[in-house]
A and B are shown apart, each in its own frame.
Chain A
Amino acid sequence: MNRAFVFGNDIDTDALAPGQYMGGGIEVLAQHCLEAVDPDFASSVKPGDVIVAGRNFGMGSSREQAAQALKHLGVAGIVARSFAGIFQRNAINLGLPVLVGGDEIAGIEAGDAVELDVRNSRLTTASGAVELEPLPDFLIEMIANGGLVPHLEKRFARERMNRGEQQ
């Protein structure tokens, strides 16, 4: 199983993608992701791990490197009490699952074994499954496709094909 990394309320985009490292590539930025809140985060998080957080995760700027840094580190998804709107859109557009959970997620502790199931909107923990708010189907589809860009690639390819057939 993978592990949970637990954060509080109002984790902002400057903590996720610090301004001073914005000019470097995503590799550099990812190494500083969340260091203002947890200096060991980037070095200890493993692919498949899940972030569990409080309210308004990702508040602040529209910089999507905030979501990209987490994706780069291999984070499987974020489960929070609520998300800042732009961050939530950005994450989905990049194919990083973001799901809203209720009171039960407050019981999850740092280091707990967890597994995220996006399609069934469920977080499995050692002590049972936590149901999360389901995402609309077309967003699950977009995440499954790897985000907005691959999703649009498919759409444009389809449109080109249709036009080609008419000619």
Chain B
Amino acid sequence: MSRPMTLAEKIIARAAGRASVTPGEVVTTKIDLAMIHDSGGPRRVEPILKRLGVGLFDTKKVVLISDHYVPGDTEEGAAILALTRAWAQEKGVSFYDGEGICHVVLPERGHLKPGMLVVGGDSHSPTGGAFGAYMFGVGATEMAGVLATGEIWLKVPETIRIEWSGTLGPRLMAKDMILAMCGRLGMDGGRYQAIEYAGETVRALEMQERMTMSNMAAELGAQAGLIAPDETTMRWLAEHGATDLPDAADWQSDEGATVAETHRFDASTLEPQVAAPHSPANSAGIGDYEPTGIDVAYIGACTGAKYVDLKAAADIISGHTLAKGVELLVAPSSKRDQERAERDGIMKVLEDAGAKVLPNACGICAGYGSARLGEDVTCISTTARNFKGRMGAKSSKVYLGSPYTVAASAITGRIADPREFGGAA
């Protein structure tokens, strides 16, 4: 039998047409799928493709999603969306327009499967790792190269194993887990290698929760954030229209495969985590925070407004109203998730409490449109990163927390422990 390999190595070896690969070696791999969005996509790649005088390597392997400039409420945003739409039509690629945020829409429409090697024109592309796909982000020039050639070079990563044991307490979510990892390992803890999340706590998470964890492998500085597929994965994929599914058993790290580091975390002692401005690595347990007043509570982004997140927020908010002077903004990650939340009465709970519902798009998280945080505004947000000036004025301050924590803060007017609101679901 050949040398035991990690999941990352297996996927890369397959895509490179090799029996095995070794961390550190540089290989050229074939791409199974390329995802682009309106910001880094057509407007940036098309001039390069023209210059090279070539078309797309395979129109069936390219998915375009508009999200960053949706709803196009600035002149510039509207122009970018118009260009995006025209390009989609001309090229005949799969196109989801205003249907939600790319990282959520891509798997939701059955495009991802275990064992695939996928590039995305966005830094949170590691989200695909939740489905056992080796997915990572590239910039627009590199994406143009991928679209032209169907290939990319990779330095085979080491695997960093992060193992979680124990059961999460009430009002705790994947967001708390990943913030705890950011707090302990730091923003370059992943060293641009492949993280593999494992252990009973991870196995117990539903898919949208796993997506949050893989998504923020970006905040750990990893290239990819994999979770080996299991029954939960395969069931979810089948339900979401993925076809020709592989055998999950083929896409697991082998017993005895070499990992560079193993980090262990205990879910049973975890308390809700909050990251102080201006870095996700400034995460600490909520008990460490002095009373901090907030102006805006934001439930949005690929990593914080999926169905599971909206439901968590509504669980807390149900029967309460917003604290005086606090604005609650909700930008559901996808149209489908919003519709499901509407059917289940979740959106009504949020709206009745006074939430303002924003389009299914990146919104304030990208900081590109007209909606931005004003001077000196303090915000608590379910988004993935809180860098200075990202969501608005440089004087604004953004704290990160789970949807439970953000919702609890919205009704108390200060950063609040969601466990104060009993009756966990």
Contact = CB atoms under 8 A, between A and B. Distances in A.
A84 B281 CA distance: 15
B390 A86 contact: no
The 6 closest A-B pairs by CB, nearest first: A85-B192, A64-B139, A19-B367, A90-B139, A56-B188, A62-B123
B383 interface: no
B390 A19 contact: yes
B121 interface: yes
Nearest to B145: A148
B375 interface: no
28 contacts: A14-B390, A19-B366, A19-B390, A20-B367, A20-B368, A20-B372, A23-B74, A23-B76, A23-B368, A36-B388, A36-B394, A55-B188, A56-B187, A59-B187, A60-B123, A62-B40, A63-B40, A64-B141, A64-B142, A84-B192, A85-B221, A90-B141, A93-B145, A148-B142, A148-B144, A149-B144, A153-B52, A156-B54
B122 interface: yes
Interface residues of A, number: 37
Interface residues of B, number: 46
A89 interface: yes
Nearest to B148: A152
Contact of A149 (B48, B192, B367): B48
Contacts of B39: 22, 63
Contacts of A84: 188, 192, 221
Contacts of B76: 23
A23 to B, nearest CB: 4
Interface of B: 26, 39-40, 48, 51-54, 74, 76-77, 80, 121-123, 125, 136-142, 144-145, 148-149, 153, 187-188, 191-192, 221, 223, 279, 281, 366-368, 372, 385, 387-390, 394
Nearest to A61: B123
Given A14-B387, A19-B368, A149-B52, A82 B141 contact: no
A73 B141 CA distance: 19
Interface in A60-97: 60-64, 67, 82, 84-86, 88-90, 93-94
Nearest to B47: A149
A19 B138 contact: no
A93 B146 CA distance: 12
Interface in A34-61: 36, 55-56, 59-61
B375 to A, nearest CB: 13
Given A20-B367, A59-B188, A64-B40, 9 more contacts: A15-B389, A63-B39, A89-B138, A89-B139, A93-B145, A138-B26, A148-B144, A149-B51, A149-B141
B31 to A, nearest CB: 15
Nearest to B281: A10
